[in-house]
Structure 1
Amino acid sequence: MIYRGGCLCGAIRFEATGAAEKPHTCSCKFCQRHTGALTASWVEFSRENVAWTGSGGAPSTYRSSEYSSRAFCPSCGSSLGALDDEPVVALLIGTFDDSTAAELEPQYHSFEDGKPRWWHT
C-alpha cells in the first residue's frame, strides 16, 4: 500500500509505504499547539518507509521535546507530523490525500483529559 499526502501549498509531499501503525487521536497540549486543533489525528510509519517527494524536499522541523521534532512546511506553515528520534515518522492523518482509508481510522485517544468538557467527538 502507498499512502500519499502533503501540505496546503503542495511544496512538501510524502509517500508512505508499509504498515500504518498506531492510528490514534491526541489532545495533549503539544498536539493542540502544533495543529491549532483541540484533537490531532496521527498514524505512524517506520522512517525508512517515508519519502519526501515534493519540490520542497523534507519539511522544516521544530524540536518540541526530548524525543521528537514537529514537522511543517516552511512555505505555507502546514503542520505535517512529528519526526521522532526513534526511527518513526508520525504523520497527521488530515495531510493524506485519502484520509478515509480504513487503515488510518484511529484506534485510541491519547491525553483525553486535554479535551475541553464541551468537546463531544
Structure 2
Amino acid sequence: MSEIVPAVDSGSEVRSGGCLCRKVRFTVTGPVDDPHICKCGHCSKRSGAPFQWWASFPMAGLEWTGAEPTWFDTYPGKTARGFCSDCGSHIAARDHGDDKIIGILATSLDHHDTDPALVPTNLNRLPEAAPWLAQPDTRHTASG
C-alpha cells in the first residue's frame, strides 16, 4: 500500500493512484490545487453519478507508472478525459493546449479518503446540479 511521502527534490508531496483493476497507475508530485466537486451535467452523464470530486496537480509532476489511460475528447479540441480501457475507471482530465495542469479524479488516488489536502473547497456548476441534490444554504444570518 502506498503512502503520501515528501518528494526528494521539491518538498512537495507524492501521491499515487490508479484504476480499479490497477492497469492504469500514476504518481503526482506537487501541491494539490482546487479540490472541488463538479455537479455539471457533463460530469454526471460521463460518470453515471450526480457529481465528481476533482483536484488539479502540476502536469510536470505526473508520471504514468502503469499503462497510460485511454483518452477521449469529451469536448473535441478542448478537453480530453482519461479512463482505463479495461475496467472503465475514470482517472483524469486535461485541456488541449494546457501543459501545466492535470485534473485528477480524487477517488482515483490511493488515499483520497484520508488526505486532508483533498477536502473540496469549491462546488462548481451548482445551477446544473440535479434538482434533488441538497444545495448549500447561501443565506447570511446576523450573529448576535
Q: How does the TM-score come out when normalised to structure 1?
A: 0.92
Tell me the matched-pair count. Answer: 119
- 1:9-28 map, 5 Å: 9-28=21-40
Q: Distance in 2 between matches of 1:89 and 1:48?
A: 9
| Aligned mate of 1:74, from 85, 105, 117 | 85
Asked which structure has the greater CA Rg, the reply is 2
Q: Does 1:105 align with 2:115?
A: no
3-state SS of 1:64 partner: strand
Q: Which amino acid aligns with 2:24?
A: I
Aligned to 1:47: 59
Give deviations 1:40-72, integer Å, cap 9, x for gaps: 000001111111111xx2100100114210110
SS at 2:85 equivalent: coil
The AA in structure 2 aligned to 1:32 is: S
Structure with bigger RCO (C-alpha 8 Å, 6+ apart): 1
Q: How much has 1:30 moved relative to structure 2?
A: 1.6
Could you tell me which residue of structure 2 aligns to residue 94 of structure 1?
107
Confirm or deny: 8 A CA contact 2:35 2:55 kept in the other structure: yes
Equivalent pairs: percent with the same residue? 30
What's the RMSD between the two structures over aligned residues? Answer: 1.3
Consecutive unaligned residues in structure 1, runs of 5 or more: none
Cα deviation, residue 117, structure 1: 2.5
Taking the aligned partners of 2:61 and 2:93, their CA distance within structure 1 comes to: 14
Of the structure 1 ranges 39-48 and 28-37, higher mean CA displacement relative to structure 2 is found in 28-37
Q: In 1, distance between residues paired with 2:32 and 2:116?
A: 10
Q: List runs of 5+ in structure 2 lacking aligned partners.
A: 1-12, 136-144
Where 1:41 maps in the other structure, the secondary structure is strand
